[in-house]
Amino acid sequence: MSKELNKTYDPKDIEDRLYKKWEDNGYFHAEVDRSKKPFTIVMPPPNITGQLHMGHALDNTMQDILIRYKRMQGYNALWQPGTDHASIATEVKVIQALKEQGINKADLTREEFLEKCWDWRKEYGGRIVKQLRKLGSSADWQRERFTMDEGCSHAVQEVFTKLYKKGWIYKGSRIVNWCPVCKTSISDAEVEHEEQDGFFWHINYPVVGEEGRFVEIATTRPETLFGDTAVAVNPDDERYQDIIGKTLKLPCTDREIPVIADSYVDKEFGTGCVKITPAHDPNDFEVGKRHSLEEIVVINDDATMNEKAGKYAGMDRYECRKALVEDLKEQGLLVKVVPHSHNVGVHDRCHTTVEPMIKQQWFVKMDEMIKPAVEGVKNGEIKLLPSRMDKTYFNWTDNIRDWCISRQLWWGHRIPAWYCDDCGEMVVSIEKPGKCPKCGKEHWTQDPDTLDTWFSSALWPFSTLGWPEKTEDLDYFYPNDVLVTGYDIIFFWVIRMIFSGYEQMGKAPFHTVLFHGLVRDSQGRKMSKSLGNGIDPLEVIDKYGADALRLTLITGNAPGNDMRFYWERVEASRNFANKVWNASRFIMMNLEGVELREPKLDELHAADKWILSRVNTLAKDATENMDKFELGIAVQKVYDFIWDEFCDWYIEIAKVRTYKKDENPESANAALWTLKTVLVNALKLLHPYMPFITEEIFCTLQSDEETIMLSKWPEYKEEWNFPAEEAAIEHCKDLVKGIRNVRTQMDVPPSRKAKLFITSDDEAVRKVFEDNKEVYVNLAFTSEIAVQQGKAGIGDDAVSVVIPDAVAYLPLEDLVDFEKEKERLNKEKDKLTKELARSRGMLSNEKFLNNAKPEKVQEEKDKLAKYEQMMAQVEERLAQFK
């Protein structure tokens, strides 16, 4: 072998170089090839505003593991990458950047502002893609897409016009979630609910014509009172039968409102009387529709009160609340204020409390479109992992509302609706219309709104493959196979892709959704800027390498479960990489100048067959786990095999034979061939998890294949199934473990060799130990081995080690220098005598027992128990010497 590994493993020396090699050689690229079975994953498109965080790192590591695995299995594997334009997030970033230059968005035309957005995207939009490369992501970057590129934009316009013609997109006035800071509507899925401390303000509404009679209502938002158009009671509530149909004087206004009966009201909750504000509450909106109530908007887009609020007009909503409550108190209409903790909706982007209000917006009708998406999961056509996600999925689909898709932003896909300047006629069309169908004029203005970002990403599985054109890629790579994503965007994205796939393509966009949890800090807290507890994946990569980060993120990972990030675990992963590197270097050094040949079956020793059988079983088990998406379980098995069975056992066993190349070349050849063969297979099984180190070792170890990426995934083969040899070596391992435990307990240094007697009444067991002395002769630190039936020649003072079907004996005099050991034990006894006297003294001291903290007393009791146990052991050992 001419090539060799560097003396020490340095990820910085190999990672960028290897990634460039992979990309330059086009290993990530997939083209239509009908002779191969496709396997497709679509990358959840990160925002162009994005910076790689631990969630991205976990998500993309899992996808990369699957795509590398399938690529090695011979699939035509496509990992389709791309980025999302992120309407709100990008617009906020660009506005901030402009402010720093002294430019206000309001001073720019729409076209000028969009030019700034595209400039921003050009400068920063590719940042996260570069960072994903540092992680080792083997996505097909030649196919990279952007949600606002020409093809994806065409797909968006096509879907909008199709759904509009079908009657499933409409424009109407409905309650929406309004963000007063971003000044746009947002969907239900973009509203986070936070537990906030608030109050119930109990207010008396006077009954008109009945002096001194009031109806008491309770509200958490007194400022919306100006939009009240009724007070509702339950029709079965006997307390209020006589006032149904009467009118009430709305406090602090000159308006009167009716009392209506509606079963929406819960008799048992609060006072049983509910103020109805149709323009500012989604439930009140529905009540208002049933009773034909007026809809009065009283809050402006910036969360200030409008002219309908009278003297409070122009005040911020919370200033108005404070002033109004004071006025109600002065008028004697404020009954009481009760503390009340409740869920408040905030915008997930800027964390401003959203204001429900009636707005004319564009909506997608969901009642029909959601049905195939429900059925697809119910009948198993789409599998959600873990299966408990089904409940979350159906909870949302069962309570789905029409989707508000218009946003009052400039950056994004502009709605393809046109209004005639002369007669107001509206036409939905991708291209600007010609003559107005109503008045014949040709003066048009396009709708100023853009579409919700998720409208375009809902089409991602097929828009990236060329839809609406009937492309070869679309026919071959759609549907995708697996979607990997966090459980936190099931509503935002997963469900929308599913119903969009059924609607536009007539089939599900993927057959499996693999949900992962969040990466939390070591205390279990969500990583956030406000807590300052975020860990930058690039910092981890710089310090320990991408492979160590990847292994850390996936070890112990179970679908849907959150995980905690510990720096100690990254160090452990780096230590594992060092172990693999050093073991590989040792094997390569021994292969130097050797002409290897594949040994015949009878040339293989029992240990060779054992390790071949173990790596064979590992290939089967790891494949089964990966096919079930149990990535954490699979990598744990690979890790344990490499560290424990291969490095700590087989390499140590084989060393004896590799050192004797000249004495027994056939035996040395069998050991070296086995070492190389098992290492190659282990590297392949590890490759999807740790791609860089496995590539470097693989390409240095052999020259037949130029990359491990395209090497064949190990498959179980019956000819490597050696159950008898596995059982034999496990017997030998049990023996070594037992002897090591005894020597550790007795503090025997490794340099002190001992004679070993192995006794068994079972001839087959004796034969195992006789035939496999080379396996344990060095590992058990033996000077001489005798395998026999009975205890002939074994002294009474020999230390015994019980193992399955046999007992091993080590003469005590071989293990211990009696005089030195007696001296050491007597010193230990003196020390323990003093500690016992001190501890017993404290625990018999009433003052200590009465005044010390309970945990301090317990600590002392624990110490006493430990000292007593140690003393018993020391006395037992001293008794043996007598």
> How confident is the model at residue 51, as a pLDDT?
81
Other Cβ atoms closer than 10 A to 627: 11
Higher-pLDDT residue of 881 and 753 is 753
Say how far residue 21 (Cα) sits from the centre of its chain: 29
Q: Is the peptide bond before 468 cis (omega within 30 degrees of 0)?
A: yes
Q: Which two tokens stand for residue 516?
A: 């992962």
Residue 153: name the closest of 402, 361, 405, 415 by CA.
Answer: 415
Residue 16: name the closest of 687, 692, 699, 570 by CA.
Answer: 692
Residue pair 606/673 in contact (Cβ under 8 Å)? The answer is no
Residue pair 202/217 in contact (Cβ under 8 Å)? The answer is yes
> How confident is the model at residue 279, as a pLDDT?
93
> How confident is the model at residue 530, as a pLDDT?
66
The string of pLDDT tens digits covering residues 651-673 is: 999 998 988 887 889 999 999 99
Q: How far apart are CA 136 and CA 777, in angstroms?
A: 43
Residue pair 403/190 in contact (Cβ under 8 Å)? The answer is no
Q: How far apart are CA 694 and CA 635, in angstroms?
A: 14
> Count of residues for the chain?
882
Lowest mean pLDDT among 576-580, 593-597, 791-795: 791-795
Going from the C-alpha of 812 to that of each of 174, 746, 786, 827, 872, the distances in angstroms are 89, 10, 16, 20, 19
Confidence check: pLDDT of 1 > 50: no
Checking 730-733 for CB contacts under 8 A at 24+ apart, the result is: 730/610, 731/765, 731/768, 731/769, 731/803, 731/804, 731/805, 731/806, 732/768, 732/769, 732/772, 732/775, 732/776, 733/649
The pLDDT of 668-693, averaged and rounded, is: 97
The pLDDT of 444-452, averaged and rounded, is: 95
Rounded to 5 degrees, φ, ψ at 605 are: -80, 170
Please, which residues have CB within 8 angstroms of residue 628's CB and are 6 or more apart in sequence? none
Q: Which two tokens stand for residue 12?
A: 């910085």
The pLDDT of 754-773, averaged and rounded, is: 91
Rounded (10°) CA dihedral 159, 165, 166, 170 = 90
Q: How far apart are CA 145 and CA 160, in angstroms?
A: 20
For 712-776, what is the HEC assignment? CCCCCCHHHCCHHHHHHHHHHHHHHHHHHHHHHHCCCCCCCCEEEEEECCCHHHHHHHHHCHHHH
**Could you say which DSSP state residue 805 is in?**
T
> How confident is the model at residue 529, as a pLDDT?
67
In this structure, the strands spanning 256-261 and 230-233 are: parallel
CATH class of the domain comprising 184-356: alpha beta
Q: How far apart are CA 166 and CA 839, in angstroms?
A: 86
HSE-up of residue 213 (Cα within 13 Å, Cβ side): 11
Q: How far apart are CA 345 and CA 193, in angstroms?
A: 4
Give me the residues paired with residue 170 across strands: 363
* H or E stretch at 124: helix 110-124
Sheet-wide strand order for 754-759: 782-788, 754-759, 806-810, 799-803
- CATH 3.30.70 for domain 726-816, yes or no, is no
User: Taking all residues of the chain, what is their mean pLDDT, rounded to a whole number?
Assistant: 92
- What confidence tier does 401 reach under pLDDT thresholds 50, 70, 90? confident
The reply to whether 529 sits in an annotated binding site is yes
The string of pLDDT tens digits covering residues 250-280 is: 999 999 999 999 999 998 888 899 999 999 9
The pLDDT of 501-524, averaged and rounded, is: 92
> How confident is the model at residue 350, as a pLDDT?
79
- C-alpha Rg value of the chain to the nearest Å: 37
Q: Which two tokens stand for residue 698?
A: 């693989």
- AA identity, residue 720: W
Domain spans, the chain: 184-356, 419-446, 565-721, 726-816, 819-881
- What confidence tier does 222 reach under pLDDT thresholds 50, 70, 90? very high
In this structure, the strands spanning 417-420 and 444-446 are: antiparallel
Higher-pLDDT residue of 328 and 798 is 328
The pLDDT of 457-472, averaged and rounded, is: 96
> How confident is the model at residue 881, as a pLDDT?
66
Confidence check: pLDDT of 114 > 50: yes
> How confident is the model at residue 555, as a pLDDT?
92
Residue pair 208/246 in contact (Cβ under 8 Å)? The answer is yes
- What confidence tier does 882 reach under pLDDT thresholds 50, 70, 90? low
The pLDDT of 781-807, averaged and rounded, is: 87
**Percent of the chain clearing pLDDT 90 (strictly above):** 70
Q: How far apart are CA 30 and CA 33, in angstroms?
A: 8
Please, which residues have CB within 8 angstroms of residue 763's CB and are 6 or more apart in sequence? none
Q: How far apart are CA 634 and CA 21, in angstroms?
A: 28
Residue 85: name the closest of 374, 361, 456 by CA.
Answer: 456
Residue pair 11/692 in contact (Cβ under 8 Å)? The answer is yes
Residue pair 702/711 in contact (Cβ under 8 Å)? The answer is no
Burial zone of 662 (CB within 10 Å; 0-12 exposed, 13-18 middle, 19+ buried): exposed
The pLDDT of 62-69, averaged and rounded, is: 98
Q: Is the peptide bond before 282 cis (omega within 30 degrees of 0)?
A: no
> Interhelix angle for 567-591 vs 537-544, to 10°?
30
The string of pLDDT tens digits covering residues 526-585 is: 877 667 778 889 999 999 999 999 999 999 888 888 888 889 999 999 999 999 999 999
Q: How far apart are CA 254 and CA 592, in angstroms?
A: 98
726-816: same fold as 184-356?
no
The string of pLDDT tens digits covering residues 809-839 is: 988 888 877 777 778 778 889 999 999 999 9
Say how far residue 403 (Cα) sits from the centre of its chain: 27
Q: How far apart are CA 875 and CA 682, in angstroms?
A: 49
The string of pLDDT tens digits covering residues 193-216 is: 888 888 889 999 999 989 889 999
> How confident is the model at residue 614, as a pLDDT?
98
Q: How far apart are CA 23 and CA 620, in angstroms?
A: 30
Q: How far apart are CA 698 and CA 720, in angstroms?
A: 22
* H or E stretch at 79: strand 76-80
> How confident is the model at residue 747, as a pLDDT?
82
Q: Which residue has the tokens 């700034």?
A: 116
- CATH 1.10.730.10 for domain 565-721, yes or no, is yes
Using DSSP, state whether 575 is helix, strand or coil. helix
The pLDDT of 232-247, averaged and rounded, is: 92
- What confidence tier does 346 reach under pLDDT thresholds 50, 70, 90? confident
Using DSSP, state whether 331 is helix, strand or coil. coil
Q: How far apart are CA 328 and CA 320, in angstroms?
A: 12
Q: Which two tokens stand for residue 624?
A: 């089964």
Using DSSP, state whether 193 is helix, strand or coil. strand
Buried-state track 797-813, b at ≥16 Cβ within 10 A, e below 16: ebbebebeebebbbbbe
Other Cβ atoms closer than 10 A to 741: 11
